[in-house]
């Protein structure tokens, strides 16, 4: 009887451990506890007044929500691309620069064009570049990482070329709403934008077959084709969706500064976006995915970044610490290491029984 109870208990623990959300939640808990012990004031939220005279909330948790939202939006698209193509898009940072540059090009010089129009044009351009990546991957069968290397190399140059290497500044204070705060709302707008994006993708996943089709193509392309799917089209679609996510982030990025810095904007963001997908427990080799887990992963990554900043780590040195986290993460989740752990725990159990 007792044995049975123990067995079911075991299986519940195992079920939690096996759940995809386990890794990001564990990482979140570790970071949370770490900060709590090291410096509880990390979690302090203050109400202050910003330059524009609006009362806003500040503090590390708010920063995480604010900056993590950009990542979360990119993680949505990156998850789909990873699932369908079995690879990652390393050009998102460069593509954000292009999208931002396009938006600035439309709005610069006190143009009266509404922001929404500039944003839509940014969407179209980013989606086209996404489609370009997608076509290379899907129709020319080039590995995603390498196909997107092209745009990675050329993207920032293209972004500079769009504005003739000038740095247009948008004076309209309303333009800062998207990356900053809206008067009367104390929480940064990017968070709301991310929530809207998450709701949209949630609805799309619920009311269309995007999930089934993407996963099927990612797991077995031949089989999907023989079931009437068009794998190439679905891959391109995933890249186009990522392009749209990129455009949204582009808007947030240029809105934060009211201008752009071609070589620095969204630098290394592709690393964080890929990391978010991996931390979410999604196989980087494609196939099944868990969107919620990726999005949670994105915020956890930002949590880590903010923690490092709180410990006075220089911005340029940040990657070194993140790299260590990545390596620990992938080593722990490597099948070889997992097998080793499970055989070790088995051996320990055998000893206990004896």
Partner 1 sequence: MKDNAVLEMRNIHKSFPGVRALQGVDFTLRKGEVHALMGENGAGKSTLIKVLTGVYGKDEGNIFMDGIEGPVAIHSPQDAQKVGISTVYQEITLCPNLSVAENMFIGRTSGVGQNWKKMNKDTEKILRSLDIPATATQQLGTCSIAIQQMIAIARAVDMDCKVLILDEPTSSLDEQEVEKLFKLMRDLRSKGVGIVFVTHFLDQVYEICDRITVMRDGQLVGEYVIKDLPRVKLVSKMLGKEMDDMSDIKSEAKTYERKAGEVPVLEAENRVSDAGIKPFNFHIDKGEVNGFTGLLGSGRSECVRALFGADRITGGTIKMKGKSVKITKPLDAMKNGIAYLPEDRKGDGIVGDLSVRDNIILAQQVLKGFMKPFSKAEANKIADEYIKLLSIKTASADTPIKSLSGGNQQKCILARWLFTHPEYLILDEPTRGIDVGTKVDIQKLVLKLASEGMSVTFISSELDEMLRTCSRLVVMRDRKMVGELSGDDLNQSKVMSTIAGGDE
Partner 2 sequence: MSNNKSNTSGGFMDKLNNLTDTNLLLTITIVVFFLMYIAAMIFQGGAFLKGQSFLNILNSNSTLIILACGLSLVMITGGIDISVGGVTALISMCCAVYLDLKGGNIFVSILVALAIGLAFGAVQGFLVAYLDIQPFIITLAGMFFARGMTTIVHSEPFNVAHEAFNELKNTRIIVPGLGSVNRRGDYIDAYVEIGVIVAIIVVILMFCMFRWTKLGRSFYAVGGNQQSALMLGINVKRTRFLSHLICGLLAGIGGYVYFLHVGSGSPSHATAMEMDAIASSIIGGTMLTGGVGNIIGTFFGVLSLGTIQAIVASAGLGEAWWTGITRAAMLCLFLVIQSLIMARKKKA
* Residue among 41 and 223 whose Cβ is closer to partner 1: 223
Nearest to 282 by CA among 131, 76, 138: 76
Exposure class string for 126-152: b at 16+ Cβ within 10 A, else e = bbebbbbbbbbbbeeebebbebbbebb
- In the region spanning residues 76 to 135, those forming contacts with partner 2, defined by CB under 8 A, are 88
Q: Which is nearer to partner 1, 101 or 224 (CB)?
A: 224
Q: Is 274 in the site for partner 2 (CB under 8 A)?
A: yes
153 lines the binding site for partner 2 (CB under 8 A): yes
What are the percentages of helix, strand and coil residues in the chain, rounded to 5? 75, 0, 25
Look up residue 170 and give its DSSP letter. Answer: -
Tell me: does residue 352 bind partner 2 (CB under 8 A). Answer: no
Residue 288 contact among partner 2, partner 1, none, beta carbon within 5 to 8 Å by kind: partner 1
Residues found near partner 1 in the complex (CB under 8 A): 206-210, 212-213, 215-216, 219-220, 222-230, 287-288
Residue with tokens 């940014």: 122
> Residues 61, 117: contact at Cβ < 8 Å?
no
Contact 235, 84 (CB under 8 A): yes
End-to-end CA distance of the chain: 20
The answer for residues whose C-beta is within 8 angstroms of residue 96's C-beta and 6 or more apart is: 246, 249, 250, 253, 265, 266, 269
Query: Applying CB under 8 A, which of residues 150, 185, 187, 310 lies at the interface with partner 2?
Result: 150
When CB distances are held under 5 to 8 angstroms depending on the partner's kind, the choice from partner 1, partner 2, none that residue 318 binds is partner 2
Nearer to partner 1, 221 or 270 (CB): 221
One character per residue 221-260, x = contact with partner 2 (rule: CB under 8 A) = ----------------------------------------
SS3 179: coil
Answer whether 333's CB lies under 8 Å from 64's CB. Answer: no
User: Which of partner 2, partner 1, none interacts with 334 (beta carbon under 5 to 8 A by kind)?
Assistant: partner 2
Using CB under 8 A, which of the segments 55-63, 156-164, 190-198, 214-222 binds partner 2?
Answer: 156-164
CA proximity to 81, closest of 221, 235, 296, 213: 235
Give the total of residues touching partner 2 (CB under 8 A).
Answer: 45
Q: Using CB under 8 A, which of 236, 271, 273, 301 touches partner 2? A: 271
From the list partner 2, partner 1, none, which binds 269 (C-beta under 5 to 8 Å, kind-based)?
none
x/- track of binding to partner 2 for residues 165-204 (CB under 8 A): x---------------------------------------
Cβ proximity to partner 1, 110 vs 228, nearer residue: 228
DSSP string, 314-327: -GGGHHHHHHHHHH
For residue 59, what is the DSSP state?
A: S
Angle of the 291-310 helix axis to the 269-279 helix axis, nearest 10: 120
By CB under 8 A, name the binding residues for partner 2.
Answer: 88, 136, 140-143, 145-147, 149-154, 156-158, 160-161, 165, 268, 271, 274, 278, 284-285, 314, 316-324, 326-327, 330-331, 334-337
């Amino acid at each position: 009887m007792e044995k049975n109870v123990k067995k079911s208990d075991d299986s519940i623990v195992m079920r939690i451990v096996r759940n995809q959300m386990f890794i990001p939640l564990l990482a979140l808990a570790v970071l949370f506890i770490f900060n709590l012990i090291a410096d509880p004031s990390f979690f302090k939220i203050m109400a202050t007044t910003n330059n524009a005279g609006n009362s806003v909330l500040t503090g590390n948790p708010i920063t995480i929500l604010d900056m993590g939202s950009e990542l979360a939006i990119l993680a949505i698209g990156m998850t789909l691309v990873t699932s369908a193509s079995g690879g990652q898009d390393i050009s998102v940072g460069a593509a954000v620069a292009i999208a931002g540059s396009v938006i600035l090009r439309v709005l610069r010089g006190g143009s009266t064009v509404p922001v929404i129009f500039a944003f839509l044009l940014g969407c179209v351009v980013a989606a086209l570049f996404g489609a370009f990546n997608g076509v290379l991957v899907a129709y020319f069968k080039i590995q995603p990482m390498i196909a997107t290397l092209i745009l990675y190399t050329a993207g920032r140059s293209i972004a500079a070329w769009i504005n003739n290497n000038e740095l247009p500044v948008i004076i309209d204070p309303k333009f800062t709403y998207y990356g900053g705060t809206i008067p009367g709302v104390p929480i940064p707008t990017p968070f709301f934008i991310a929530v809207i994006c998450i709701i949209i993708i949630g609805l799309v996943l619920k009311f269309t077959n995007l999930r089934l089709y993407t996963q099927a193509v990612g797991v077995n392309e031949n089989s999907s084709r023989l079931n009437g799917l068009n794998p190439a089209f679905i891959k391109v679609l995933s890249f186009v969706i990522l392009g749209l996510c990129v455009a949204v982030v582009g808007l947030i990025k240029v809105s934060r500064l009211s201008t752009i810095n071609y070589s620095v904007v969204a630098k290394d963001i592709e690393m964080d976006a890929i990391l978010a997908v991996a931390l979410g427990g999604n196989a980087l080799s494609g196939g099944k995915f868990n969107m919620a887990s990726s999005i949670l992963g994105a915020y956890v990554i930002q949590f880590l970044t903010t923690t490092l900043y709180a410990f006075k780590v220089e911005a340029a040195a940040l990657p070194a610490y993140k790299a260590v986290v990545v390596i620990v993460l992938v080593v722990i989740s490597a099948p070889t290491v997992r097998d080793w752990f499970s055989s070790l725990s088995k051996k320990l159990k055998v000893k206990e029984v004896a």
